């Protein structure tokens, strides 16, 4: 019988665990993707921006579905009571627009109609495949691994800051009201990622669980990267 080499190995310290999670983002977060570099340097035209906004909308719509999957798998009442806020943040409530509605405004600001976005008229197969893979991960993996995958939010605030600066500097034809999603999300991401990080460090007590959490975060980084690969190939390569 093959021996489990990790069985008798102690877990990483909390500090080392957090450091390993951060190193995943340093190496693989999608802020380093060529498409984001072009965007931040003001090198995208209207059609390319529209393609990104339209395709990313599918991901935005699936975020609350992903979070509902985490809720359905989570046995801890106190965790569920906090995590459910994420669904409200994206779906919104009466009198308070959520992230999905704000992303629709971004679409309108770059020249798309709500109808073509809601019908996913520009959705690329590669983007759909990547997002659906993320949903399946959240549905089928242990809930704490899905929480670990969400830790890409640790790196989101800095990207949002850069994006707002870039859009205001290079794409000033976009109405600032369309940028509200980014402005709101940089604050939400800090709160959400802090809570998720606390959960992951508290619930992942063995080395195996810690490694699974790191791998889950790496998987999510790959999902975001794959989405941009599809968009970059469609709208930038050879154009």
Q: Across the strands, what pairs with 93?
A: 96
107 with 57: CB under 8 angstroms? yes
pLDDT at residue 45 in the model: 97
Provide mean pLDDT across the span 130-139: 98
Is 69 part of a structural domain of the chain? yes
What whole-number distance in Å separates Cα of residue 166 and Cα of residue 36?
Answer: 11
Is 7 part of a structural domain of the chain? no
CATH no. for residue 168? 1.20.910.10
Is 28 part of a structural domain of the chain? yes
156 with 186: CB under 8 angstroms? yes
Q: What is the DSSP string of 151-213?
A: GGGGSHHHHHHHHHHHHHHH-TTS-GGGGHHHHHHHHHHHHHHHHHHHHHHHH--SHHHHHHH
Is residue 229 scored above 50 in pLDDT?
yes
pLDDT at residue 8 in the model: 72
Is 140 part of a structural domain of the chain? yes
Is residue 93 scored above 90 in pLDDT?
no
- Angle at Cα 62 formed by Cα 60 and Cα 63, nearest 5°? 70
Is 9 part of a structural domain of the chain? no
- Confidence bin at 60 (pLDDT 50/70/90): very high
- Confidence bin at 1 (pLDDT 50/70/90): very low
Provide mean pLDDT across the span 115-144: 98
pLDDT at residue 239 in the model: 63
Total-model pTM: 0.94
Is 6 part of a structural domain of the chain? no
To which H or E segment does residue 166 belong?
A: helix 156-170
Is residue 228 scored above 70 in pLDDT?
yes
- Spatial CB neighbours of 4, under 8 Å, sequence gap ≥ 6: none
Domain count across the chain: 1
State which residues form the domain around 99: 14-235
239 with 45: CB under 8 angstroms? no
Nearest to 214 by CA among 74, 71, 73, 23: 23
Is 193 part of a structural domain of the chain? yes
- Confidence bin at 238 (pLDDT 50/70/90): confident
Sequence length of the chain is 239
What whole-number distance in Å separates Cα of residue 71 and Cα of residue 51?
Answer: 32
- Confidence bin at 96 (pLDDT 50/70/90): confident
Provide mean pLDDT across the span 164-188: 93
- Angle at Cα 229 formed by Cα 25 and Cα 175, nearest 5°? 85
pLDDT at residue 7 in the model: 61
pLDDT at residue 3 in the model: 40
- Spatial CB neighbours of 90, under 8 Å, sequence gap ≥ 6: 60, 63, 64, 67, 98, 99, 100
Q: How much is the mean pLDDT over the chain?
A: 94
Nearest to 117 by CA among 134, 101, 136, 133: 101
Phi, psi of 80 (to 5 degrees): -60, -40
- Confidence bin at 6 (pLDDT 50/70/90): low
- Comparing 239 with 194, the larger pLDDT belongs to 194
What whole-number distance in Å separates Cα of residue 207 and Cα of residue 103?
Answer: 39
Tokens 């308070």 belong to 96
């Amino acid at each position: 019988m093959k021996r489990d080499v990790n069985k008798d190995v102690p877990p990483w310290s909390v500090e080392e665990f957090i450091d390993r999670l951060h190193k995943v983002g340093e190496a693989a977060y999608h802020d380093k993707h060529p498409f984001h570099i072009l965007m931040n340097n003001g090198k995208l035209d209207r059609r390319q921006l529209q393609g990104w906004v339209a395709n990313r909308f599918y991901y935005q719509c699936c975020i609350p579905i992903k979070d509902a999957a985490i809720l359905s798998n989570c046995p801890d009442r106190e965790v569920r009571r906090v995590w459910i806020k994420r669904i409200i943040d994206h779906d919104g409530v009466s009198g308070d627009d959520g992230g999905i509605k704000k992303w629709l405004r971004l679409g309108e600001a770059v020249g798309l109609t709500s109808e073509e976005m809601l019908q996913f008229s520009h959705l690329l197969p590669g983007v759909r495949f990547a997002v659906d893979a993320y949903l399946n991960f959240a549905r089928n993996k242990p809930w704490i691994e899905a929480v670990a995958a969400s830790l890409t939010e640790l790196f989101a605030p800095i990207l949002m800051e850069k994006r707002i600066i870039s859009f205001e500097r290079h794409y000033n034809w976009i109405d600032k009201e369309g940028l509200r999603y980014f402005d709101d999300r940089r604050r939400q991401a800090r709160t959400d990622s802090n809570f998720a990080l606390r959960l992951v460090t508290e619930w992942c007590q063995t080395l195996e669980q810690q490694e699974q959490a790191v791998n889950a975060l790496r998987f999510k980084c790959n999902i975001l990267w794959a989405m941009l690969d599809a968009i970059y190939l469609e709208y930038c390569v050879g154009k």
